Amino acid sequence: MKYLYLILAALLMLCLAPMPYGYYQLVRFIALVLFAVFAYNTWRQEQRPLAVVLGALALLFQPFVKVALGRALWNIVDVIVALGLIALWWFGQKKAGSD
């Protein structure tokens, strides 16, 4: 499950490249599903603030009611979120190693 953080981060970083519009729609749908799953799992692990952030990201990336930020701002959001996902994976690995 933890590797899904890295996969989603890679998909978001690929959004920086010029891709067909369908790719962006697919990434938004995948991000919605994965962020919802991540939020649910962190909520069950009693990590409420992180679960709220992940839930908000699910709403931001959902493809049904688009949030029009413009390409440049979306690129910044994609990079920040991808780095955050990598950090979550990294600290999850360190925590699993210390258990």
pLDDT of residue 98: 52
Per-residue pLDDT at 79: 95
- Number of domains observed in the structure of the chain: 1
Amino acid at 86: I
Exposed, middle or buried: residue 47 (CB in 10 Å: 0-12, 13-18, 19+)?
middle
pTM of the predicted structure, to 2 decimals: 0.85
Q: Give the DSSP per-residue string, 29-96.
A: HHHHHHHHHHHHHHHHTT-HHHHHHHHHHHHHH-SSS-----HHHHHHHHHHHHHHHHHHHHHHHHHH
pLDDT of residue 96: 56
Q: In terms of residue numbers, what domain contains 73?
A: 3-98
